[in-house]
Each structure stands twice: as structure tokens, then as C-alpha cells.
Amino acid sequence: MSGDFSNSEQLCPHCRKQLQVTHIGKDFCPYCGVRLSDSDLALQDSTTVPPPLEPTPPPITRHVESASNDRSNTASSRKPPQTKPRELSSTIVAVATSAKSSARIAAAKAKELQLTTIDLPKAFLVLGSEIYQNRRFEVEFADLYAEMDEDRKRIDELNHQNQDLPIDTVTNAAKAMADTAQRAAKSQALKLRAPTLIRRLGHEAFKMYGAASGPPELIDVIQTCQRRIEELRQEIRQAGTETTNVLDGHLPSEMSNLKPSTQAAVGSL
């Protein structure tokens, strides 16, 4: 092959692929495999046909700045209104007052629980014991008397029951011990049930006859407990109302800017 190959690149006339100098010295195109001749080769200036360039991506700085500005504007628009110092001070006072009321409510509830679960039931138990020992209101509460009398009789039988088996062998001794343990368990169960029945007798008698159900000193204890329980319940209701009024009067605007969980926590004070 001959020709002017001063240029470093030429095109294959068949596949239009660029031929390097090392390709031109051959008899065929290394891309399409067609035989080449001097007349087929067309000299082309490599500077006139520049290789295609990759498209340049658009600058993103402006987009980044725009997005940042948008977020800043959105955050600014979502900022809650600033609370004035005087309003903030009023809010702090309201929360502190509410906390004190909550402490009063907690103390009152603790005392009420003690009275209703310990002191008052104990007073009814004492009254019921006095009534049962003196066999008062036996006709009015015949069912309770019959139940308590039966339990006491059964306890006496269990405590004084004699062993039928002679303890002359190891087997009989083991049986006797098991029988004794069983009777003791039954007796203990009946003894534990007795206070419940006696307490019920005192409560029912006081409910039916009031001050006439027992001695004045026993009735006074019951009435004092009941009166104190009612006072504590009234105090709890009043403190709860005061707490609600304080929060409603000082916190509406500030509360609207708090998270729901925070609002619930403040409202429960």
C-alpha cells in the first residue's frame, strides 16, 4: 500500500472507523475486515473531525443554594411565635401551682386509701365482734350467725378430734401425722374466714341501724372514718378543679406550641 500518511488518522471507506497509523500499513480494515487499497483511503485532517465530547453536566451550585434557601424559609415559617417574658413567667407560676395541687391530691388519695382499706374495715370488725359476742341482732342477721356458729363448731371439732389409728407402727404414725396436718390446715382456713364474716356483720348492722348498732365509742370511730373519707374526696375534687382552671387560664397559647406528649404531661400535673 502507498499514499501520504502524514496524518495520524484516516477513515475506513467501508465502516467509517478511524484508522491509526499502525492499521494503515495493513491490507484490510481491522474493524470490518474489508480489503483496503490506496484509492479507497481518504485522507482526513484529524483536527477537522474532533472526537465527540461527553456532555457537561449543568452546575448544581445554584440548585443547592436554592434548596438550602427553601429549607431555611420553610423552617423560618414554621417557627412558633416567641413567648413574651411576662407570659413565660405566668406559665411557670401556673405549672408550679399545678404541681403543688398534684402533690395535695396524691397525699389525699394515699390517706383515703388507708382509711377505706385499713381503718374503716378494722372499725367494722370491732363492732361486729361486739355484736356477735353479745348475740345482738341475731334474728335480723340469722344467716350470718348460722354461718359463723357452724365455722366455730367445725374449728372446735378439728382441734379436739382424736386419732382413730393406734400409733404402733411407722405406717400408722405417718398417717397420723398427715391427718393432723390436714385438720390443722382446715382449721386455719376457717379461722381466716371468721374475720370476714364478723366484719360483714358489723358493716351490715351499722348500715341498718346506724348509731344504734353499737356502743358510742365504736360508732364514733366509724363515723369519724367516714367523715374524713368524704372530706378527702371533696379535697381531691377541689384540687383537681383548681389545677384545671389554672392551666386553662395561663397555658392555652403556650400549650398549642408544645408536642402532644408534652401537653399531656403538663395537663396531668
Most confident of 19-28, 163-172, 177-186: 177-186
Q: How far apart (Å, rounded) are the C-alpha atoms in residues 185 and 16?
A: 111
| Predicted pLDDT of residue 220 | 97
Pairing type for strands 42-43 and 18-20 reads: unpaired
Q: How far apart are the first and last CA of the chain?
A: 102
Local confidence band at 232 (pLDDT 50, 70, 90 cut-offs): very high
> Where exactly are the structural domains of the chain?
1-47, 85-171+187-267
Local confidence band at 104 (pLDDT 50, 70, 90 cut-offs): confident
Q: Kindly write down the DSSP assignment for every residue of 168-179, as one continuous string.
A: -SHHHHHHHHHH
Joined grid coordinates for residue 188: 386455719
Joined grid coordinates for residue 80: 412558633
| Predicted pLDDT of residue 79 | 57
Query: Which is higher by pLDDT, 183 or 51?
Result: 183
Angle between helical axes of 216-250 and 120-133 (0-180°, round to 10): 160
DSSP state of 9: E
| Predicted pLDDT of residue 34 | 72
| Predicted pLDDT of residue 48 | 41
Q: Is 235 exposed, middle or buried (0-12, 13-18, 19+ CB in 10 A)?
A: middle
Per DSSP, helices labelled H in 140-210 are 142-160, 170-209
Nearest to 36 by CA among 52, 15, 8: 15
Per DSSP, helices labelled H in 38-119 are 61-78, 85-114
Say yes or no to pLDDT of 185 above 80: yes
- Mean of the pLDDT values across residues 50-66? 52
Query: Which is higher by pLDDT, 115 or 244?
Result: 115
Say yes or no to pLDDT of 169 above 80: no
Grid cell 405566668 is found at 90
| Predicted pLDDT of residue 13 | 76
Joined grid coordinates for residue 125: 370488725
Q: Give φ, ψ of 127 to 5 degrees.
A: -65, -45
Q: How far apart (Å, rounded) are the C-alpha atoms in residues 108 and 113?
A: 9
- Mean of the pLDDT values across residues 250-255? 48
Angle between helical axes of 142-160 and 170-209 (0-180°, round to 10): 160
| Predicted pLDDT of residue 2 | 41
Q: How far apart (Å, rounded) are the C-alpha atoms in residues 19 and 184?
A: 115
| Predicted pLDDT of residue 206 | 97
- Mean of the pLDDT values across residues 72-87? 55
Looking at 3-17, 57-71, 118-132, which range is the least confident one?
57-71
Work out the number of other CB atoms within 10 angstroms of the CB of residue 177. Answer: 12
| For the chain, percent of residues with pLDDT exceeding 90 | 34
| Predicted pLDDT of residue 163 | 55
Cβ atoms of residues 36 and 27 within 8 Å:
yes
> What's the whole-number average pLDDT of the chain?
74
Per-residue CA distances from 258 to 86, 199, 251 (Å)? 18, 52, 10
Nearest to 40 by CA among 15, 21, 8: 15
Looking at 22-31, 198-207, 215-224, which range is the least confident one?
22-31
| For the chain, percent of residues with pLDDT exceeding 70 | 56
